[in-house]
A = this chain, B = another copy of it.
Amino acid sequence: MIEDKNISKTELGSLGEFGLIDRLTQNFSLKNPSSILGVGDDAAILETPKDQQLVLSTDFLIEGIHFDLSYMPLKHLGYKAVSVNISDICAMNATPTQITVSLAVSNRFSLEALEELYSGIALACQAYKVDLVGGDTTSSTSGLVISISAVGMAKKEKICKRSGAQNNDLLVVSGDLGAAYLGLQVLEREKQVFKANPNAQPDLANYPYLLERQLRPQARLDVIGLLEELSVKPTSMIDISDGLASEVLHLSKHSGLGFSLYEDKIPLDPSTITTAEEFGINPITAALNGGEDYELLFTVPLEDHPKIKANPNLTVIGFASNKTLNSVLIDKSGENSIPLSAQGWNHFKS
């Protein structure tokens, strides 16, 4: 659990800003035809294919807020930072093509630590077939700050926004929910155990799926391909970064509709259910408010139901049920409608 992040130490000051960028990006090459010029100039040059539009997203990951290096291996962090951004591109129903990565690092990081971070970024670039085309590297007065921008491209008529859902549309989610949040609970518990007794062996082997979901999430680029295959174009879409409840409310606000969700339809992995029990957490609460699942949430017209109903990657969890902004969770009895409220993580609440 607690890895040695400073195997060998080359101080960053010995390289300088340009030496550092050159060193970290030396093994990256451009693979997409839309990447005309990559790292090393004042700006990258991109070419959008004819009839396509470009989508652009940006996200911060900040040490002490979004990640804790005491249990987040740097390589995984690099991978996750890219996934989080690629997930936004997927949420537009676009194909990710390029990223830029900017780092602010304090002097406590060695070159080798940053190379480890970049090895995870490189793996993610391979997995998502995107090119690293730019970035900025500077020092920070405290901790590590990662800022990634992601670019994707798609035909204009294929792009999905948060708005566009129609009344009676089905609400569909990919994969399962709540696992990343429970992975975080496991890691936090083991951190406390380790703090109390540094010789204690961390108890992580029993939670492989939950830890994978927390430490190395996958953006659902495969679902974008699947939708294309199934000839399904969502009427609205968003990725689940802050918890299902918060994202449903975003779709609701942007589309001007209220949704009804069925509690017993929310997809949960068996290990999410057992671990939630272990922690005394309702797994539905983990799904609604936990966040970091990076699954896709979207709406499709009722007539598309036959196309998706048998797919193991997709679950219909509700529908757009009214033209107000009132969304509800219908409990397992089917008798109680609980108003949905976003209890997603508010970074600014102390």
Contact = CB atoms under 8 A, between A and B. Distances in A.
A53 B36 contact: yes
Interface of A is mostly: mixed
A307 interface: no
Interface stretch (A38-46, A275-283, A316-324): A38-46
A59 interface: yes
A133 interface: yes
A162 B44 CA distance: 12
B142 A145 contact: no
Contact of A62 (B63, B134, B138): B138
B141 A59 contact: no
A102 B84 CA distance: 15
Copies of the polypeptide in the assembly: 2
A55 B44 contact: yes
Given A16-B346, A20-B348, A238-B42, A104 B62 contact: yes
Contacts of A94: 43
A43 B91 contact: yes
Nearest to A133: B56
A162 B42 CA distance: 8
A88 B94 CA distance: 27
Interface stretch (A119-127, A147-155, A187-195): A147-155
Given A42-B92, A346-B17, A62 B140 contact: yes
Given A11-B348, A60-B145, A62-B141, 5 more contacts: A15-B348, A17-B346, A47-B53, A48-B54, A58-B149
20 contacts: A17-B347, A17-B348, A36-B53, A40-B162, A41-B161, A42-B91, A43-B56, A44-B57, A45-B54, A47-B54, A48-B48, A56-B56, A56-B149, A57-B134, A58-B134, A58-B136, A60-B102, A62-B104, A62-B139, A147-B147
